Amino acid sequence: MDFDIGNQHIVIQARYEALGAFNDLLIAVWFLLGSFFFLNNALIESGTWLFIVGSAQLIIKPAIKLTSLIHLNRIRGQQG
């Protein structure tokens, strides 16, 4: 269900979507770099840390979505 709350809704939603896309990009970078680091024995420990960072960053994705939903619901409540 979507309520028309004007341009403010569109701007807020677009910002959260951009933040989510940037987060996804960073996750991909950490995992790709970590994979390349595993090809060199001297970089395996650093690669492991990149995997840990990427995995921890996966928690941010649902947090962004939940924050977006809460933010938009508050705006709807203020206008209703």
Q: What is the pLDDT of residues 52-68, one digit of tens each?
A: 999 999 999 999 999 99
**Contact between 5 and 25 (Cβ < 8 Å):** no
Please give the structure tokens belonging to residue 78: 């203020």
- State which residues form the domain around 35: 25-79
Q: Within a domain: residue 13?
A: no
C-alpha to C-alpha distance for 20 and 69, rounded to whole angstroms: 13
Q: What is the pLDDT of residues 14-39, one digit of tens each?
A: 999 999 999 999 999 999 999 999 99
**Number of independent structural domains in the chain:** 1
Q: Within a domain: residue 7?
A: no
C-alpha to C-alpha distance for 66 and 68, rounded to whole angstroms: 5
Residue type, 60: I
Separation of CA 52 from chain center: 16
Q: Within a domain: residue 19?
A: no
**Of 8 and 59, the one with more pLDDT:** 59
Q: Within a domain: residue 14?
A: no
Q: What is the pTM of this model?
A: 0.79
Q: Within a domain: residue 17?
A: no
Q: Within a domain: residue 12?
A: no
